[in-house]
Amino acid sequence: MDNILLKILDVKKEEVAELKKTRSSNDLLREAEARQDTRGFARSLQERIEVKKNAVIAEIKKASPSKGVIREDFEPDALAASYAAGGAACLSVLTETQFFQGSHDFLRRARAACVLPVLCKDFMVDPYQIYRARAFGADCILLIVAALDDKELHDFEQIATDLKMDVLVEVHDEKEMERALKLKSPLIGVNNRDLRSFETDIRNSIRLKDLVPTDENRLLITESGILTKDDVKLMNDNDIYGFLIGEAFMRQQDPGQALATMMAQD
């Protein structure tokens, strides 16, 4: 099986090199530092999870490498407003261009259309991308453990923290969880999809949950493959209340209503 993650990372490195030719890191960092309006991404999730209420990071995603185009009728502003009305705790906006047809402009538009905190969903390989995320208004960034070494994880987390952003640290297996728990971020995302093969197993979140210390105020977010109310119930039955969901909502005419229906708790 081809390693899709490695292909994406190679493209990201080339993309960042090209971006640096058009705007310097120092210039972008100054713009990022000038923004003082983060919305509290982790806090929004924590307020719900700690009272066992479903907390959803609702994703705005046009396409993916495994599924192709997911939604033709794609207006980030309208999607953000729909998700907010449906009860989302936060938003995630794909900004990766080549494989997911995302854009930083989508992030800017989505954030302007609601009051929810927003995650810049991308494949971070360089501090430049972190500056760019904040400059466009991101309240949180994603760090994929499989994509970075321990020093990069630590350094990137610190850069994001200095810019007043939260960090969602994404893992897929036991070794990655051990590395993630060395970081300070309370947000641990368990990707049920293997980014090397793009195969999915939602029980991955249940298996890895036991590795998270209960006394460290960590917040577990299950990512990928949550498609039905039964999937949500399975997670709730295993004391998981944090979700990152995109495809299941994006395929519906009214994504926010789909969210409200799927996440209703008896």
Q: Is 217 a catalytic residue?
A: no
Position of tokens 């990512």? Answer: 223
CA distances from 92 to 55, 61, 246 (A): 13, 8, 8
Burial of 130 per CB tally in 10 Å (0-12, 13-18, 19+) = buried
Catalytic choice (12, 62, 121, 209): 121
- The DSSP call for residue 67 is T
Catalytic choice (59, 96, 157, 176): 59
Catalytic choice (44, 64, 82, 224): 224
Q: Is 170 a catalytic residue?
A: yes
Catalytic choice (12, 44, 54, 61): 61
Catalytic choice (170, 176, 192, 205): 170
Q: Is 96 a catalytic residue?
A: no
Q: CB count, 10 Å around CB of 227?
A: 16
Burial of 266 per CB tally in 10 Å (0-12, 13-18, 19+) = exposed
Supply 5's token pair: 């993650």
Catalytic choice (191, 192, 204, 205): 191
Q: Is 191 a catalytic residue?
A: yes
Q: Which residues are catalytic?
A: 59, 61, 121, 170, 191, 223-224
